[in-house]
Amino acid sequence: MECYRILTEVERKAIGSICFLAGPITFLQNALVLCVIASSATLRKRPSYLFIGSLALADVFASCFFTISFLDFHLFHGSDGPDVYLFKLGGVTMAYTGSVASLLLTALDRYLCIHQASSYKALLTRRRALLSLLVLWSTTAFISFLPLMGWRCPTGLTPPCSRLFPYVNSAYMACWTSLILVLMVLIMVAYAMILWRAHRHESTMTKLQATSKTGHSRRRMDIRLARTFSLILLILVGCWLPALSFMLVDVSMSLNRTQQRAFAFCGTLCLVNSAVNPLLYALRCRELRIALMRLLQRLCGIGRCKAPPEELSSGLPSGDNITASSEEEMPRTRHNRHTLQPE
């Protein structure tokens, strides 16, 4: 196992600081999102927030499993046997696979909201959303614990199949890495389709505008969408691609110690992505922020923590669901439904 413990004392301190900082922040942010969704009967009925809740749950798992197992292995030099190590690794794999898969469901939900605006609520019911989450987590758990169930390195550690993960079969790692890359490509395709649809919608609305001022405001909606989705995809790819690249290279060739150390730092970027997800997908939603203020009001009681009257009086909108990063960056389906019909 010493060939995997390659970090110097300075590198262990640096990675330890990242994990001790990002781990609790990731846990607290995502736990807050789960508490807000669970406390609101309105949000619990909405498929969009069920998918956001699934993402938050996966990131909570990531903050626990990755931080504990990573620190135990690299900082405290834990001496687990093959079964215990693969069980811990399976927890990390399940968390990250569930996180990326939940991001895909969120992207598909947004695509359906735009592309099938008139039939969105009939197509994506709460029951279908729960069924998709059940399939997602069942499949994720099965794939993640395949090494523990027997798909492991046939030679053990003499010689090892991978220079990044002990006891892991290189074929399994190649399949899992390819799966994550496919999920990321599907996410990018979904957002590209949303932007294409939004651009067509804006072009149609521009022709219908009577005043140039309103027309200019509407023309910039697809630009705001492009900026938001570009930020989302940039963070996703920037956090995941370095680690996935090292894993693909490890399948085809033996990594040296410098590359192993670089992978250890790249692995922490996946945890950073889990810390950023609540800010990108949950806390930007106006309805969830209102639910958060209501929860704080119930917890704090009457007085200092009371939310502004104008926000509480507005309540949660009862119209069609808009699954956007922010309310201002997606077209309002119930007002523009006639322009969003499929041609």
Closest CA to 137 of 105, 88, 94: 94
Weakest mean pLDDT among 77-91, 277-291, 310-324:
310-324
pLDDT of 323 higher than 80: no
Per-residue pLDDT at 309 exceeds 50 = no
Distance of alpha carbon 134 from alpha carbon 57, whole angstroms: 13
pLDDT digits (tens, 9 = 90+) for 134-144: 999 999 999 99
Ramachandran class of 4: left when φ > 0, alpha when ψ lies in -120 to 50, beta otherwise: alpha
CA atoms within 13 A on the CB side of 244: 21
Average model confidence (pLDDT) across the chain: 81
Which residues does 105 contact at the CB level (< 8 Å), separation at least 6?
A: 51, 54, 132, 133, 136
User: Could you give the domains of the chain?
Assistant: 2-209+220-302 (1.20.1070.10)
190: amino acid identity, one letter: A
Q: When comparing pLDDT for 243 and 324, which is higher? A: 243
CB atoms under 10 Å from CB of 79, counted, come to 10
Round to whole Å and give the CA distance between 282 and 256: 40
